[in-house]
C-alpha cells in the first residue's frame, strides 16, 4: 500500500473546502491574491511566508501547526527537519515545549527556552487570574448589584481580596460560601503571577502590563 502524503497546499485546500470557502473568498480574507492561493494549493509554490501562514491560519480558523503538519497523524515522522521526530514532537518543539536538550546546547537556545517556558506559565497564571476575577465580579453583582464593585476592585488590585471585610459581608449576605474560596484562590494566584513576572524579568523577558497598576488590569473588569 502506497502512503499518500498530503502537501501543505493540499491541506489548505481541504480546510478551505471544509469551511465552504471559495478560493476567492479565502484570498479576500487573507489579503493574498487569487493566483497566490491557487499556486499554494496546487503546489506550484512550495514555500510559504510566515506572514502568509498566519493570514491563512486566521482566515481558516485553524492553528498554524495544523497547516504545517499532518495533525491527524501525530505519531508519524515529521515531514521535515533532521531530529527524526514525530509530528507531535515537532509541534511541541516548534513552541519550545518539547523539553529536548537539543535546544539547550547554545546560550541562545538556553535563553529562549527559559523565556518560552516561563512565558507560558505566566500566560496561564494571568488567564486563571482573569477567570477568577470574572467569576467574583458576577457573584458580586448578583449579590449586591454594581455598588460594591469599586471596593472589591481595590481589594483585587492589591491581591487582598480574601482579607476584605466587604467580601466577608457579601458572603454572609448572599449566602454564597464560594465567594471566600474564590477570594483566597485569587490572592494565591495574584502572588504566583507576581513571582512569575519577576522570574520572567530575570531571564530577560518583558511581562508588559502588570496587575494592580493604572496601566495594567486595575479596575478594567469593573469599569
Q: What is the pLDDT of residue 213?
A: 44
Q: What is the pLDDT of residue 51?
A: 95
Distance CA 1, CA 19 (A): 30
Per-residue pLDDT of the chain (223 residues; tens, 9 = 90+): 334 468 999 999 999 999 999 999 999 999 999 999 999 999 999 889 999 999 999 999 999 999 999 999 889 888 877 778 888 888 887 777 666 677 677 888 888 888 888 998 999 999 999 899 888 888 877 777 777 677 777 778 888 877 777 777 767 766 777 888 888 899 999 999 999 999 999 999 998 865 544 444 443 343 3
User: Are the C-beta atoms of 116 and 105 separated by less than 8 Å?
Assistant: no
What's the whole-model pTM score?
A: 0.72
Q: What is the pLDDT of residue 210?
A: 54
Q: What is the pLDDT of residue 105?
A: 76
Q: What is the pLDDT of residue 38?
A: 96
Q: What is the pLDDT of residue 220?
A: 36
Distance CA 43, CA 7 (A): 8
To the question of domain 8-94 being in CATH 1.10.1060.10, the answer is: no
Q: What is the pLDDT of residue 99?
A: 61
- Give the start-to-end residue ranges of the domains of the chain: 8-94, 103-222
Distance CA 18, CA 12 (A): 10
3-state secondary structure the chain: CCCCCCCHHHHHHHHHHHCCCCHHHHHHHHCCCHHHHHHHHHCCCCCCCHHHHHHHHHHHCCCHHHHHCCCCCCCCECCCCCCCCEHHHHHHHHCCCCCCHHHHCCHHHHHHHHHHHHHHHHHHHHHHHHHHHHHHHHHHHHHHCHHHHHHHHHHHHCCCHHHCHHHHHHHHHHCCCHHHHHHHHHHHHHHHHHHHHHHHHHCCCCCCCCCCCCCCCCCHHHC
Amino acid at each position: 500500500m502506497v502512503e499518500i502524503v498530503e502537501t501543505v497546499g493540499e491541506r489548505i485546500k481541504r480546510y478551505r473546502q471544509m469551511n465552504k470557502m471559495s478560493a476567492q473568498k479565502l484570498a479576500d480574507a487573507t489579503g493574498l491574491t487569487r493566483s497566490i492561493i491557487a499556486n499554494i494549493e496546487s503546489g506550484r509554490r512550495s514555500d510559504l511566508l510566515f506572514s502568509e501562514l498566519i493570514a491563512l491560519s486566521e482566515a481558516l480558523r485553524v492553528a498554524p501547526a495544523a497547516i504545517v503538519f499532518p495533525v491527524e497523524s501525530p505519531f508519524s515522522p515529521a515531514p521535515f527537519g533532521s531530529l527524526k521526530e514525530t509530528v507531535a514532537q515537532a509541534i511541541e518543539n516548534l513552541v519550545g515545549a518539547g523539553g529536548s536538550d537539543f535546544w539547550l546546547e547554545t546560550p541562545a537556545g538556553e535563553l529562549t527556552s527559559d523565556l518560552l517556558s516561563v512565558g507560558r506559565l505566566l500566560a496561564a497564571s494571568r488567564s486563571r487570574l482573569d477567570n477568577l476575577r470574572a467569576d467574583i465580579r458576577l457573584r458580586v453583582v448578583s449579590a449586591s448589584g454594581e455598588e460594591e464593585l469599586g471596593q472589591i476592585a481595590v481589594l483585587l488590585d492589591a491581591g487582598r481580596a480574601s482579607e476584605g471585610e466587604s467580601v466577608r459581608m457579601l458572603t454572609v449576605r448572599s449566602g454564597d460560601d464560594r465567594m471566600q474560596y474564590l477570594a483566597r484562590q485569587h490572592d494565591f494566584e495574584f502572588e504566583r503571577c507576581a513571582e512569575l513576572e519577576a522570574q520572567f524579568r530575570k531571564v530577560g523577558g518583558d511581562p508588559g502590563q502588570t496587575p494592580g497598576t493604572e496601566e495594567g488590569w486595575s479596575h478594567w473588569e469593573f469599569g
